[in-house]
Amino acid sequence: MYRSALTTALAVGITLLVAGTSSAAPTEKEKKLLADVSAKLLAVCERPKNVEWPPNIALEDDPDINAYAAITDKDGKPHPGGTAKMYPIIRVFAGLMSKVVEADKVGAEDRLAIIVGHEIGHLVKEHCSPIKKREKTPFLKVTFESREEIEADLFGLELLLKAGYDMDRALKGIDRMKEVIKTLGGGYSSFEGLGKDHPSWDARLEKADKDKAQLWKAMAAFNNGVVFLTTEDYATAISCFEKVTRQFPAAHEAWANLGYARLMRYCDQWDKNDIQSQGIGQVVVGGFYTRLDSIKVRGKDKKLWFDAVGALREANRLKPGQTIVLANLGLAYLLSPEGKDVGESTRFFSEAAEAAKKDTKLDPVAHAALLINLGVATLGDGKTDKALGHLDDGEKLVRSFAGPAAKKLVASFDAALLYTRAMVLAEKKEAEEKEKAINMLGQYLRVTSTRSLWWDQGYDRYADLCKAVGRAPKAKEAFKKDRPEPTRVVTGIKLKDITITLGDDIEDITEKLGKGQSSTAVQGLSLTRIRYENEGIELLATDQVLAIILVGENSPAIQLTGKMTGTGKVGELKVGMSFKDVEELLGEDYQPCEITATEVFYRFFREQGVALRVVKGKVVEVVVVRIPTR
């Protein structure tokens, strides 16, 4: 049976990682290389039971970066199941052979051996068996197909060593695989891999290459940190990047991201008074949001700011002139706890703008943010015309954005542009200019979250300008949004002394919390349910935490925070609350899903990463989990 994007058949392969570009048909040299490597591996391989042997191994004329193992009938068609003889096959795609194996380069046989050995592992371990019991829910399917990939990796490495191939050169094939995937827009971190049927390469290499386990752990931590930055989970991102900098203190990328994560966490602690005292236009970092009165606001944390700047300066020392690092230093000084330092801010922003002209890898979104923030800093320095020029340059880039995410991106940039330009026009003497400012602020108030720390200031400016021209301002309620406030993805929970995050090593958690009460989560499968009754939680785990379940009255609440930087609490999810209250917080965008048992349905809010089991209108379980999208 064959694996493709359109079927959930039983074939198991490396993965349909990314679509390749067109490539030449397999060459005779490539065919011979595959035959030679396959023969050496099969010569030292145990024969599996219940299948015809050896497998049919061949190249497939397909440009994708892929390989797979499968079981067919004697005619090469998908196996019908039952007692019919099983004929194993392995196919290596031409795209994988030409872009990763590279038959003309040194070490090609070792790179190919790790690929073919992996696929042989799937056959020997019976992962492809048409009579094998398959998991019933998407969550279980992902969990155990991921484990099968690790199992096949380890088998393949053992096999290639038995056959006399070089492991280091073979593992360089995986490095090459990662490079190609990244170039073509694929790949994901080990945290993101929790929601996919193939774990990330970093997670797989950590288990396969014991001699370099710390290196792969650090790489996984770095990639996870990047994901946590995008989900605005800055505390967890900081923890990830601190691990990398401790292990590899010369890694300038880790210092750069650590500095940014610390800076954003520093911004998260601001309130409306902090923004007002800073006296700046709205910067582009995703937006600052208010928090409920029940949240303790610490204001401007000087130590955290100094830690952020220290990390950014270390990144700049290790590799001077990086556009993003310079831009973030400019932002840091604009948001200094001692008040805006426009001298240092504009200096770093200006250096970043110069570096951007030669930075061919700079993302247009980051470039637009740099120019707009430079405009805000320049305005703070009293140079109005120059500031407006920077805003105009930033807007030109914003208007070039395209793609599915462009609408939300443009809206966030528009908010900063509207607010800052309105600040300039509001200071003009002419009534016509003030009218323009009123219209801009009115538009700003409509498109911006009411939780933005700039929103109330924007409304006050709007109301004052209306009165100045003899117009009655609209009430605040007129700008109220119909939809719930967007919230950040939930990646874990906080107990009194520790944080538990999806993907954490279960050994680390049990060391902190104790062993808990363990039981088999699903009969016949190595998934464990660990209950901590005093904490009101259960963990579903293999060697990693795959799901966090909140049960019982003593379970902790999950704090929901407003999306993007400067976030505040917008509510909480907890066992016992009514589902009506949940819908007021999160809206009605959820799908039914099953986790460990069929016919036990949860309501899964994908954007927040939480699944709720509801009985008679009440929430009886809250689950932090990643469910696959397909």
pLDDT tens, residue by residue, 28-56: 999 999 999 999 999 989 888 888 999 99
How does pLDDT run across 474-517, given as a tens digit for each residue?
Answer: 999 888 776 677 788 888 899 988 889 888 888 889 998 998 99
Residue 561 near residue 537 (C-beta atoms within 8 A): no
Cβ-Cβ contacts under 8 Å for 261 (sequence gap 6 or more): 225, 228, 229, 234, 237, 238, 241
Grade residue 70 by pLDDT with cuts at 50, 70 and 90.
confident
Q: Is residue 85 part of a domain?
A: yes
Residue 1 has pLDDT above 50, yes or no: no
Query: Is there a single domain that holds both residue 103 and residue 19?
Result: yes
Query: Is there a single domain that holds both residue 311 and residue 366?
Result: yes
Residue 415 near residue 282 (C-beta atoms within 8 A): yes
Tell me which of 227, 251, 276 is where a domain ends. 227
Q: What is the mean pLDDT of residues 549-562?
A: 90
Alpha carbons 312 and 2: distance in angstroms, whole number? 49
Which stretch of DSSP H or E encloses residue 529? Answer: strand 528-532
Helix (H, G, I), strand (E, B) or coil at 569: strand
DSSP string, 150-192: HHHHHHHHHHHHHTT--HHHHHHHHHHHHHHHHHTT----TTG
Peptide bond into 337 cis (omega under 30): no
Tell me which of 422, 453, 479 is where a domain ends. 479
Model-level pTM? 0.64
Which stretch of DSSP H or E encloses residue 509? Answer: helix 506-513
Helix (H, G, I), strand (E, B) or coil at 601: strand
Q: Which residue has the tokens 């290790």?
A: 318
Q: What is the mean pLDDT of residues 318-341?
A: 94
Question: Which pLDDT score is estimated for 245?
Answer: 87
Query: Is there a single domain that holds both residue 386 and residue 237?
Result: yes
Q: Which residue has the tokens 């929970």?
A: 493
Q: Is residue 538 part of a domain?
A: yes
Amino acid making up residue 76:
G
Q: Is residue 485 part of a domain?
A: no
Region class of 339: left (phi > 0), else alpha (psi between -120 and 50), else beta = left
Helix (H, G, I), strand (E, B) or coil at 473: coil
C-alpha torsion angle, residues 109, 111, 116, 122 (rounded to 10): 150
R_g over Cα of the chain? 28
Question: Which pLDDT score is estimated for 135?
Answer: 55
Q: Is residue 2 part of a domain?
A: no
Query: Is there a single domain that holds both residue 383 and residue 439?
Result: yes
Domain count across the chain: 4
Name which of 234, 155, 159 is nearest 489 in CA terms. 234
- Strand partners for 561: 569
Amino acid making up residue 202:
D
Query: Is there a single domain that holds both residue 322 and residue 446?
Result: yes
- Strand partners for 605: 610
Q: Is residue 121 part of a domain?
A: yes
Grade residue 2 by pLDDT with cuts at 50, 70 and 90.
very low
Question: Which pLDDT score is estimated for 353?
Answer: 95
Question: Which pLDDT score is estimated for 160?
Answer: 84
Helix (H, G, I), strand (E, B) or coil at 78: strand
Residue 437 near residue 425 (C-beta atoms within 8 A): yes
How does pLDDT run across 203-254, given as a tens digit for each residue?
Answer: 555 555 554 445 545 656 676 677 667 667 788 889 888 988 887 888 888 8
Q: Is residue 4 part of a domain?
A: no
Give the single-character DSSP code of 476: G
- Strand partners for 624: 548, 610
How does the average pLDDT of the chain come out, rounded? 81
Cβ-Cβ contacts under 8 Å for 309 (sequence gap 6 or more): 259, 263, 329, 332, 333
How does pLDDT run across 125-136, given as a tens digit for each residue?
Answer: 887 777 655 556
Query: Is there a single domain that holds both residue 212 and residue 235?
Result: no
C-alpha torsion angle, residues 199, 494, 255, 269 (rounded to 10): 140
**Phi and psi at residue 266, in whole multiples of 5°?**
-60, -45
Residue 292 has pLDDT above 60, yes or no: no
Query: Is there a single domain that holds both residue 339 and residue 272?
Result: yes
Q: Is residue 1 part of a domain?
A: no
- Strand partners for 618: 578, 615
Q: What is the mean pLDDT of residues 115-122?
A: 90
Q: What is the mean pLDDT of residues 81-96?
A: 87
Give the C-alpha distances (Å, rounded to integers) separating 581 from 231, 304, 549: 24, 35, 20
Residue 461 near residue 471 (C-beta atoms within 8 A): no
| Paired tokens of 515 | 């062993």
For 196, the domain range is 190-227
Alpha carbons 212 and 191: distance in angstroms, whole number? 20
**Phi and psi at residue 520, in whole multiples of 5°?**
-75, 125
Question: Which pLDDT score is estimated for 286?
Answer: 46
Find the DSSP H helices in 335-430: 342-358, 364-380, 384-398, 406-426
Residue 551 near residue 575 (C-beta atoms within 8 A): yes
Which stretch of DSSP H or E encloses residue 443? Answer: helix 431-447
Query: Is there a single domain that holds both residue 544 and residue 417?
Result: no
Helix (H, G, I), strand (E, B) or coil at 224: helix
Name which of 437, 424, 423 is nearest 467 in CA terms. 437
Q: Is residue 486 part of a domain?
A: no
Alpha carbons 589 and 85: distance in angstroms, whole number? 47
Query: Is there a single domain that holds both residue 76 and residue 104?
Result: yes
Query: Is there a single domain that holds both residue 119 and residue 196?
Result: no
Question: Which pLDDT score is estimated for 589?
Answer: 83
Query: Is there a single domain that holds both residue 244 and residue 391?
Result: yes
Tell me which of 203, 227, 251 is where a domain ends. 227
Grade residue 344 by pLDDT with cuts at 50, 70 and 90.
very high
Residue 197 has pLDDT above 60, yes or no: no
DSSP string, 453-464: TTHHHHHHHHHH
DSSP string, 374-387: HHHHHHHTT-HHHH
Query: Is there a single domain that holds both residue 439 and residue 556?
Result: no
Residue 456 near residue 273 (C-beta atoms within 8 A): no
